[in-house]
Structure 1
Amino acid sequence: MSYSAAPFDTSHNMAHVLKDVGYFVNIIALALSGIQYTVILKERNQIIKNQYEKISESEKVKDEFINIAAHELRTPIQPILALSIFLYGQNGALENYREHIEIIIKNSKRLQKLAEEILDAAKIESHSLTLDPERFDLLLVIHNLIRDLGSQIRNDNNDVIIRFFYDGKKVEEKGLNENDGGDALYIHADKNRITRVLSNILSNSIKFTTHGEIDILVQNVKNHLSVKIKDSGPGIDKAILPKLFDKFITGSPSGTGLGLYICKYIIKAHGGNIWAENNPSNAGATFTFTLPLNKDG
Structure 2
Amino acid sequence: MKDRPSQILAADQETDTLLILETILTEEGYSVNTSSYGKEAIASINAHPPDLILWDVMMPDADGYEVTYKIRSTPQLPFIPIVLLAPDPSIPSTNGLELGADDFLWKPIQVNELLARVRNLLRLKHSLDSMREMALAREDFVSRLTHDLRNPLIAAQQMLTLLGQGKFGTLSPPVKEALQTIAVSNDNLITLVNTLLEVHRFEAGCKPMAITTFDLYKLIKEVVKEQEALAVSKNLRLIFETQQQFFRIQGDRLELRRVLTNLVSNAIKFTERGQVKITVEYKAQSVSIHVEDTGPGITESEQNAIFERFRTGNQKGAGSGLGLHLSQRIAKAHSGCLEVTSQLGVGSIFTLCLPRNQNY
- Range class of TM-score, shorter chain: 0.5 to 0.7
**CA positional deviation for 1:75:** 11
Corresponding residue for 1:7?
A: none
The AA in structure 2 aligned to 1:53 is: M
| 1:56-83 CA-partner distances (Å, limit 9, x unpaired) | 4556777899999999x99999998778
Question: Is the 2:309–2:325 Cα contact (8 Å) retained in structure 1?
Answer: yes
CA distance in 2: counterparts of 1:166 and 1:196, whole angstroms: 20
Q: Which has the larger radius of gyration?
A: 1
Residue 131 of structure 1: aligned partner: 209
The sequence identity of aligned pairs, in percent, is: 21
- The reply to whether residue 204 of structure 1 matches residue 266 of structure 2 is yes
RMSD over aligned Cα atoms: 4.2
Aligned residues of 1:244 and 1:260 also touching (Cα < 8 A): yes
- For the residue of structure 2 that corresponds to 1:146, the secondary structure is helix
Aligned to 2:324: 260
- Quick one: which amino acid aligns to residue 225 of structure 1? V
Within the candidate set 226, 233, 239, 1:148 is matched to: 226
Tell me the SS of whatever aligns to 1:239.
helix
What's the offset of the Cα at 1:112?
Answer: 3.9
Partner Cα distance (2:141, 2:295) in 1: 33
Question: C-alpha separation between the residues in 1 aligned to 2:187 and 2:301?
Answer: 31
CA distance in 2, matches of 1:46, 1:139: 51
**1:1-297 equivalences in 2 (<5 Å):** 32-56=110-134, 91-92=169-170, 106-107=184-185, 109-153=187-231, 157-167=233-243, 183-251=245-313, 254-279=318-343, 282-294=345-357
RCO comparison, higher one (Cα < 8 Å, 6+): 1
Structure 1 residue runs of 4+, over 2 Å off?
31-43, 52-71, 73-113, 150-154, 251-256
Per-residue CA shift, 1:72-114, capped at 9, x if unaligned? x999999987786676586459999986776566556534432
Distance verdict in 2 for CA 1:135–1:68, change over 3 Å? closer
In structure 1, stretches of 5+ residues that fail to align are 1-30, 168-181
Instruction: Specify which structure has the higher proportion of helix.
Output: 1
Distance 2:172 2:253 in 1: 36
Distance, in Å, in 2 between the alignment partners of 1:295 and 1:99 is 49
Could you say what secondary structure the match of 1:282 adopts? coil
Deviation at 1:256, TM superposition (A): 2.2
1:137-186 deviations in Å (ceiling 9; x for gaps): 111111121111123335xx41111000002xxxxxxxxxxxxxx82111
Report the TM-score when normalising by structure 2. Answer: 0.57
Report SS of the residue matched to 1:159. coil
Unaligned runs of 5+ in 2: 1-108
Report how many aligned residue pairs link the two structures.
249
CA distance in structure 2 between the partners assigned to 1:285 and 1:147 by the alignment: 21
